[in-house]
């Protein structure tokens, strides 16, 4: 089974419609935290991605300040769905709101808890 450790590998696995894969390490922790994105409606996920994208696009101009504004704007968009700023940051860290949304919609996800306290996420295409 494919082992995914980076967001680039995660994007490739989704793009290539890999049937089964396991996400490990810090990426698994962040992806698990971002799972609440999958509870949004498609419209809310697109709106949140747009709000976050505006901040990311202006980051070079503002030296990163726009990410804070973006997160606050995104929080307003997602507040009614119960998505926190931490969840938004986690989604950004793993490759974006829409990637997280699509992964949880296209795959069944099993959380594997290890004795050392870490988790792995096993993805099986629906």
Q: What is the mean pLDDT of the chain?
A: 76
Question: Which two three-digit tokens encode residue 93?
Answer: 């860290």
Question: Which two three-digit tokens encode residue 37?
Answer: 């994105």
The per-residue pLDDT for range 26-84, each reduced to its tens digit, is: 999 999 988 887 777 677 666 666 665 544 433 444 344 344 444 444 445 444 455 67
Pairing of strands 2-4, 107-113: unpaired
Give the global pTM: 0.72
The per-residue pLDDT for range 75-110, each reduced to its tens digit, is: 454 444 556 777 777 777 777 778 888 899 999 999
Higher pLDDT, 44 or 122: 122
Q: What is the pLDDT of residue 37?
A: 77
For residue 117, the 8-state DSSP code is: S
């Amino acid at each position: 089974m494919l082992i995914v450790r980076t967001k680039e590998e995660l994007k490739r696995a989704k793009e290539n419609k890999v049937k089964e894969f396991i996400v490990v390490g810090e990426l698994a922790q962040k992806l698990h935290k971002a799972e609440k994105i999958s509870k949004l409606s498609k419209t809310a996920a697109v709106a949140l991605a747009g709000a976050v994208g505006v901040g990311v696009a202006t980051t070079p101009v503002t030296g990163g300040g726009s990410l804070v504004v973006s997160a606050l704007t995104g929080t307003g968009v997602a507040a009614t769905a119960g998505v926190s700023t931490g969840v938004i940051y986690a989604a950004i860290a793993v490759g974006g709101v829409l990637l997280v949304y699509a992964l949880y919609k296209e795959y069944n996800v099993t959380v594997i808890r290890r004795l050392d306290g870490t988790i792995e996420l096993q993805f099986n295409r629906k």
